[in-house]
Amino acid sequence: MGFRIVAAVFALWAVASGAWGPAAARQATNVSLIVANGIVITVDGTRRVLNPGSVAINGTEIVAIDTPVAISARYRSADTIDATGKVVMPGLINTHTHAAMVMFRGLGNDLALMDWLQKYIFPAEAKTVSPAFVRVGTRLALLEMIQSGTTTYADMYYFEEEVARVTKAAGVRGVLGQTVIEFPVPDAKTPAEALKRTEAFAKEFAQDDLITPSIAPHAVYTLDAAILTAASELAKRLNIPMQIHLAETSAEIGQSQDRHKQRPVALLDSLKFWAPITIGAHGVWISPDEIALLKQRNVGISNNPESNMKLASGTAPVVAYRHAGVNVGLGTDGAASNNDLDMFEAMRQAAFQQKLVSMDPRVISAPEALEMATIGGARVLGQQALIGSLEAGKRADLIIVGMSRPRQTPLFDPVSQVVYVTRGDDVETTVVNGKVLMRDRKVLTMDEGMVLREARAAADLVRKAVQQ
């Protein structure tokens, strides 16, 4: 072979392989993690689905999402996860739960909210809730969340600094609300004490990468106007998100009218209660005028279809919220009224519930349900610039979901499959802030056996508490 021919063949090879020519100047950049060859559902502004697609992650951030060929030309990593045939999607965002209440899972089922709260939950909590109990319960909840693809959750409970510590250790993202309620509770004898606690907690976790401290005045039926106002002032002063149970049941509307002479939304508006980020949990018994007001005040709604159905609380006007431009996310509520923390089930039930009550199967489509569980939730929490979709520059919170079960076969439409047949157990790998928390079903940041043993042991306290 003459020199010229060899040179020409080499040049052809070099251009085709990207080793030379325009790409030659750009060497592949080292990144910390590549998720390769998946069916990438981005939930970005154009709802892009790349099939196949790869995601390059460096440190805590997504640096690029593109075709596998383009990503492997530009990036290399010592750690690559092959996602062939699997869905790669944003981690799910649970906008309302009480994590440690997994310890009351299955307790006092089949009762109305007020009966259930007053006969079972409040008394059991009074006898069991301690820093150690909250740690054990929250760890159990975190294990369930990591295993079912939840990467961010909004919590309302007691000893929230303990919740924050175990959440951070597990590597999960949280908007964690310290409860303020009028009767004595395990972490505060008075609401004033709860406010003080909130302030110390907010200080401890200010600027944390995973934890956003928050304040959670419980509801208008468990707080008077002065405390609601004080909680709101503290949220504004500390610039932290506020979470409140809002118009969950028709009984709550009656209680609000008896006690405050106003419906919940009108009362809170007259108190100038709303903070820059306010998360209204449930928002079931809401009129069209109130929807317009919530939009004006930038209040986000956490829709909790399973809890609302199990307690027969009602159906939130999700379609009307969305038409009015109110941000809507999904939540599971505490496991005690659900009875699990599986956000895939929440997506499915959210769609089914709205279709049934409106007698219109076109409302809350699969893409809309997925949106509520991801970018919608991020907007409700005020974190849409960071999480909720797979986009370069956002935090690397993503999950890899198996799609090869019989019930997922055949696979025509990945989004429909995710919403209508996928379960939390199908999640194989969970990544938060660029860190792999679960890989091929093995949780890496928690000792699964230990978490379960401790939870079973602590359940004895609950058993004793409800026997007395």
Nearer to Zn ion by C-beta: 332 or 389?
332
Name every residue whose Cβ is closer than 8 Å to that of residue 267 and which is 6 or more positions away in sequence: 220, 225, 228, 256, 260
Q: Are 93 and 150 in contact (CB under 8 A)?
A: yes
Nearest distance from C-beta of residue 96 to Zn ion, angstroms? 6
Q: Which helix H or strand E contains 201, and what residues bound it?
A: helix 191-204
Nearest distance from C-beta of residue 165 to Zn ion, angstroms? 22
Nearer to Zn ion by C-beta: 33 or 181?
181
Only one of the segments 22-30, 215-223, 327-335, 452-460 lies at the binding site for Zn ion (rule: CB under 5 A); that segment is 327-335
Nearest distance from C-beta of residue 114 to Zn ion, angstroms? 13
Site string for Zn ion, 264-293 (x = CB under 5 A): ------------------------------
Q: Cis peptide before 52, with omega less than 30 degrees from 0? A: yes
The CA radius of gyration of the chain, in Å to the nearest whole number, is: 24
Residue 385 C-alpha from the chain's centroid: 15
Binding to Zn ion (CB under 5 A): which residues in 333-352?
333
Nearer to Zn ion by C-beta: 162 or 333?
333
- Between the alpha carbon of residue 95 and those of residues 176, 237, 318, 346, 385, the distances in Å are 10, 23, 15, 11, 16
Nearer to Zn ion by C-beta: 187 or 333?
333
Nearest distance from C-beta of residue 371 to Zn ion, angstroms? 22
CA dist., res. 332 & res. 197, Å (int)? 26
Nearer to Zn ion by C-beta: 50 or 328?
328
Q: What's at 39, amino acid-wise?
A: I
Number of residues that bind Zn ion (CB under 5 A): 1
Nearest distance from C-beta of residue 334 to Zn ion, angstroms? 6
**Residue 378 in tokens:** 């991020």
Neighbours of 152 (CB within 10 A): 29
Only one of the segments 5-13, 330-338, 385-393, 422-430 lies at the binding site for Zn ion (rule: CB under 5 A); that segment is 330-338
Angle CA(229)–CA(231)–CA(236) in degrees, nearest 5?
A: 95
Nearest distance from C-beta of residue 183 to Zn ion, angstroms? 17
Only one of the segments 82-90, 309-317, 326-334, 358-366 lies at the binding site for Zn ion (rule: CB under 5 A); that segment is 326-334
Binding to Zn ion (CB under 5 A): which residues in 87-126?
none
Nearer to Zn ion by C-beta: 308 or 433?
308
Nearest distance from C-beta of residue 313 to Zn ion, angstroms? 10
* DSSP code at position 336: G
Nearest distance from C-beta of residue 182 to Zn ion, angstroms? 17
Cβ-in-10-Å burial (0-12, 13-18, 19+) of 271 comes to middle
Q: Which of 176, 50, 104 is nearest to 459 (CA)?
A: 104
Only one of the segments 180-188, 331-339, 348-356, 458-466 lies at the binding site for Zn ion (rule: CB under 5 A); that segment is 331-339
Only one of the segments 21-29, 292-300, 325-333, 340-348 lies at the binding site for Zn ion (rule: CB under 5 A); that segment is 325-333
CA dist., res. 68 & res. 266, Å (int)? 53
Only one of the segments 18-26, 169-177, 229-237, 332-340 lies at the binding site for Zn ion (rule: CB under 5 A); that segment is 332-340
Inter-residue long-range contacts of 117-124, CB under 8 Å, 24+ positions, other chains counted:
120/466, 121/336, 123/465, 123/466, 124/462, 124/465, 124/466
Neighbours of 59 (CB within 10 A): 13
Nearest distance from C-beta of residue 353 to Zn ion, angstroms? 17
Residue nearest Zn ion, CB atom distance: 333
Nearer to Zn ion by C-beta: 333 or 342?
333
Nearer to Zn ion by C-beta: 75 or 157?
157
Nearest distance from C-beta of residue 337 to Zn ion, angstroms? 8
Q: Are 274 and 298 in contact (CB under 8 A)?
A: yes
Nearer to Zn ion by C-beta: 43 or 350?
350
Nearer to Zn ion by C-beta: 116 or 273?
116
Residues lying near Zn ion in the complex (CB under 5 A) are found at: 333
